[in-house]
Structure 1
Amino acid sequence: MTLTGAFVPGPRTHVPGAAAGPLAGLSFAVKDLIDVAGVPTGGGNPDWPRFAPTPARHAWAVQTLLDAGASVAGKTITDEVSLGILGENAHDGTPLNPAAPGRVPGGSSSGSASAVAAKACDFALGTDSGGSVRVPSSFCGLYGIRPTHGRIDFTGIAVQAPGSDTCGWFARDAATFARVGEVLFGSDLPVTLPTTLLVAEDAFGFADENVQQALAPAVSRLAALIGQRRDVTLAPQGLSIWQRAQRVLQGSEAWRTFQPWLDGHNPRLAFSVARALLQGSMMTDAERNAASLMRMEARARLRLLLPPGTILCLPTTPFPAPQKGLPLHQLDPLRERIGCLTSQGGLTGVPQVNLPGATAGGAPVGLSIIGARGSDLDLLRVAVAFEEQAAEKA
């Protein structure tokens, strides 16, 4: 493994991109749930490759980036079959968080975030079902995006929960971040910025006090950039109610996804992963029906809050990255709290971008912006303008 432990054990995978294109000269890493032709997709578990045959073709996202001139720099460690949010893998190890050594990088796209933060590549692909790009972005101080659900072709990517799965990416700077988006979305950034900023006061109130204080200057800068500012409640039913609904829906889907693998191969699993799958198998129809109704309410709430020209901001995570190696009984409350700020992504399918730059207790914390479904490029435009604004004031 490299110094950061970001890449999967064994020889590094290198695939050259096209000789010319909008991403020519850039390199990218690929989360080990995403297919690269001729390379086993490991999924963060030693028994997953026995179930998933070696791919003959690149995933759509990988092929699109190669065609645009970027080159693959390696496959990166993931939390086991994407069922994790902190970035610790019992089989492949925990990638370094270069922005906060000694702390977890966040998961499940842990290796991709680590590789970008360590400057081992220019950008990296990850997946996000319940927060797996957004959380590492916050913990490692990176730009990261969870696109509109269904906006990017998921062909060639290992599925966890189809109702929530998305493919996103990380970058250190907003210009590269946006260039990747223009390629994957097939369109240029808009010229104008949104005109209204909503601030989710319930989400900010849920975050640790030092996170609220660390993000306050960024919120003020963002408000100055956008214009009109208004405080709102994101989840009138309660953030924890949204989190519970997402956990029921995502857990049930994950169980259905992995049941054939479990039945046929009896794989080796970390305790937390096995427990999550077992819990998913025990969800009742009544729980799923109630969660589906809450998803409808959450989607209606976001449609009401986010007309064209409006974005909303909230803390990406309620606290900075925890220390590595915490005992299991301390991890569950952390995962639950993170889910209270990330569940809206899977429930509503709206795009979300993490803006880096703030620190709390010496570790990065991110400010997120979300927009209506399909407004991904608007959020990338805001990220570029936000970074340019900071550079002008530096």
Structure 2
Amino acid sequence: MASNQRFSGYPLAKEGPKTPYKPMEYNNPALRGWPLILAAKLVNYSSFLAKATWHNANFDCANNIEELHKRNWHLQPIVTPLAPDGVVQTQAEITPELYERQPEDLTGRFYSAADYHELFKAGKLTPLQVAKALLPLLSREQSSSEKYAVACTVTREDLVLAAATKSTERYAAGQPLGILDGVPIGVKDDQDVEGYVTHIGLPYNAADPFFKPATETVWPVAQLEAAGAIVIGKLTMQELGSDISGCNPSWGSPVNWNNPAYYPGGSSSGAGSAICAGLIPIAIGTDAGGSIRVPSSYCGSYGLKPTLHRAVTMKSAVCVVGPMAATANDLAITYRIMTTPNPEDPVQGSFALSVPPSPTAKKTIGIYWDWFNAASPAVVKVTKNAVSYFENKLGYEVVDISIPYLQEGQGSLSVWALIEGIDHCQGRAMDRNKPFANVNYCNQLLFGFASQTPAADMFKHGQLRGLLMEHLAFLWKQHPGMLILTPTTPDAGWKIHPGDQAYGFSDGSMTIRNMMYSWLANTTGCPAASAPVGYVDPEVGEGKLPVGLMAMGEWGSDEQLLAWTKEAEAYLNDAWDGGRSRPKKWVDVVDISKDVE
């Protein structure tokens, strides 16, 4: 960030204690089928077992850190870069370079908003043709032989065709709204879109008063629709966003088209699946512990977890709304439009527009190598090669850093996210005496023991959050503009276990491992982005697995991260042997749309 940027809530720069890093070790058994059902019921009927499970999950991780006793609470990590006094901010500019299309002969090329925009302007294709081509693939009512439709919970054909017709008319009149006009996008099914029921991954229940069509669209999605983007449907997600594999026994688990033997990642699983299949270039997801970045990594696309409350103020201290895209340019376009300041939102509306970094700014990468090297050898090899490219080809200085209490911090994020999930669940329960009755067995288990958390513990977690934020502020004072790099996930994918779809599954050890890097940005409110930087061979199935590299930046440095994703995209396209890879069953939407009347 620029040195003259004013902030509200910026933490004191204070170095934390030096603590050794050791990957967390848990003895949580993977539970499936009847063992899962039994465990869920026992934890909810026996407070003794619930408390024992709570201790085994290390949910008291912050209680014995003496350093915290002198720290202030940070119950929300709200750090806001403020707009200059007297400046009325509007939407960020969509600058000319974002209209540039990738070379036609680029290996593994995905369609972008710029591709659709040029085709529509030239009259070679219309938004209505694209919409009509996509509906049979994504609508569960128009099921096809492939499993593309599992990525969508609901499509509203009437709304889609009406929006596509209006967009087609604008292009015919030579008056498109901009680069997103007519471009199909998807929205994760925890965000309201007018006319759609918001399921949050829960099975539909007609008797549930909360399952009513939304009467208003959430601000960031409304800005995209105002720019002409067409919401093609609500995208499948892991129930209540409580895990990161992407498994949902109620709606079906979306496919990772890179290798269908692996999950797409969650909880924004439908978004990851639809983008990697080529069905849509852009999706809107949410991220409370990696739920944008993990599916982006598993599926080989681009994802940005913005600074907390940057797109919309949510009832959360950890969760944000953010973009996912097939290309780095589309990630930037979507971010700039969806973060238009909302004059009726006192937090989001006060954000200064994020500013791209100066071309002459010093480039610095910070790496905590003990943490970085805890990933699998294959992932470490791929991501280290990318770091070398940034250092040797792009002029980044790589500096060694350390971050305290990473093990305890990750456990703390798990507690916080689950307590928020419990609050959301109780707030919409049909029977307040049985608040978890409508959730799957996995969440019954998680919420059953997480609900044992004493209220006083949340203050300890807030103190640990404050310590981490102050330490990060110290690092950025030492190295202004530094990006902290890690793999996005320590493993390239999450294998599907036979029978998972019946009831779902709970594998706490795998969840914790694959959130090893993503959690820190949620705990501290910092922005973070994931970009694919290579591929590894799978253990099972057909198709290589993408590997994601993640950069976390200072509060408000979202545009700096978007510039970094563009550099990472160039590395994958030009420096990775073989370039970008497209799934075998990638859909050529442009080609099939040309045959639509």
- Alignment TM-score, normalising by the size of structure 2: 0.61
Task: Tell me the equivalent position of 1:258.
Answer: 425
Partner of 1:30: 187
1:191 offset after TM fit, Å?
4.3
Residue 75 (1) aligns with residue 234 (2):
yes
Q: Which of 360, 366, 371 in structure 1 is aligned with 2:548?
A: 366
After the TM superposition, which segments of 4 or more aligned residues of structure 1 sit over 3 Å from their partners? 9-13, 15-19, 47-50, 185-191, 326-330, 388-394
Aligned position for 1:352 = 528
Conserved in 1, the CA contact under 8 Å of 2:533 and 2:568? Answer: no
Secondary structure at the counterpart of residue 546 of structure 2: strand
CA contact (8 A) 2:154 2:233 kept: no
1:6 match: 151
CA shift in 2, pair 1:65/1:330, >3 Å: closer
Give the secondary structure class of the aligned counterpart of 2:181: coil
With over 3 angstroms needed to count, the CA separation of the structure-2 counterparts of 1:149 and 1:10, relative to structure 1, is closer
Tell whether the 8 Å contact from 2:521 to 2:552 is kept in structure 1 after alignment: no
Equivalent residue letter for 1:264:
D
State the one-letter code of the partner of 1:289. F
Match of 1:177 in 2: 331
Aligned position for 2:407: 240
Aligned to 2:25: none
Moved more, 362-371 or 381-390: 381-390
Tell me, yes or no, if structure 1 residue 322 matches structure 2 residue 474.
no
Quote the offset at 1:368 in angstroms: 0.1
Q: Quote the Cα distance in structure 1 between the aligned partners of 2:385 and 2:466.
A: 34
Q: 1:359 to 1:389 in 2, by over 3 A?
A: closer
Aligned to 1:285: 455
Residue 212 (1) aligns with residue 380 (2): yes
Q: Could you tell me the TM-score, scaled by structure 1's length?
A: 0.91
SS at match of 2:151: coil
CA displacement at 1:317 relative to structure 2? 0.6
Going from structure 1 to structure 2, the CA distance change for 1:386 and 1:10 (only over 3 Å counts) comes to: closer
Partner of 1:196: 364
Give the whole-Å Cα distance in 2 for the aligned partners of 1:189 and 1:113.
Answer: 26
Correspondence list, 1:1-394, <5 A: 1=140, 3-4=147-148, 5-8=150-153, 14=160, 15-16=163-164, 19-47=176-204, 50-154=209-313, 162-186=316-340, 189-192=356-359, 195-224=363-392, 225-233=394-402, 235-237=403-405, 239-262=406-429, 264=431, 266=434, 267-307=437-477, 308-325=480-497, 331-361=507-537, 362-393=544-575
Give aligned-pair identity as a percent: 28
Give the Cα–Cα distance (whole angstroms) in 2 for the partners of residues 201 and 128 of structure 1.
25
CA deviation map 1:204-233 (0-9, x unaligned): 122111111121111111223242111222
What whole-Å deviation, never above 9, does each CA across 1:170-203 have from its counterpart, x for those lacking one? 1111111111122223456444265111123132
Contact 1:194 1:378 in 2 (8 A): no
| Residue pair 1:100, 1:364 contacting (<8 A) in 2 also | no
Distance 2:199 2:515 in 1: 26
AA in 1 matched with 2:424 = T
Change (3 A) 1:31 1:334: same
What's the CA shift for 1:309? 1.9
- Whether the aligned pair in 2 keeps the contact of 1:306 and 1:371 (CA below 8 Å) is no
- 1:38-59 Cα offsets, whole Å, 9 max, x none, are 1111211125763253211111
Quote the Cα distance in structure 1 between the aligned partners of 2:563 and 2:391. Answer: 15
**Distance across 1 between alignment mates of 2:294 and 2:273:** 12
Report if aligned partners of 1:178, 1:384 keep a CA contact under 8 Å in 2: no
**1:386, 1:367 → 2: CA distance?**
9
1:174 partner amino acid: A
Query: Is this contact kept in 2: 1:123–1:169, CA < 8 A?
Result: yes
**Structure with max Cα Rg:** 2
Instruction: Note the C-alpha offset of 1:115.
Output: 0.6
Residue ranges of structure 2 left out of the alignment (5+ in a row): 1-139, 168-175, 341-352, 538-543, 580-597
Distance 1:306 1:119 in 2: 38
The offset of 1:9, in angstroms, is 5.2
The one-letter code matched in structure 1 to 2:531 is L
Number of residues of Structure 1 aligned to a counterpart in Structure 2? 387
Larger displacement relative to structure 2 (200-209 or 351-360):
200-209
Residues 166/329 of structure 1: CA separation in 2 closer, same or farther (3 Å cut): closer
Closer, same or farther in 2 for the Cα pair 1:296/1:263, shift >3 Å?
farther
Provide the rounded CA distance (Å) in 1 between the counterparts of 2:442 and 2:256: 21
Letter in 2 for 1:338: N
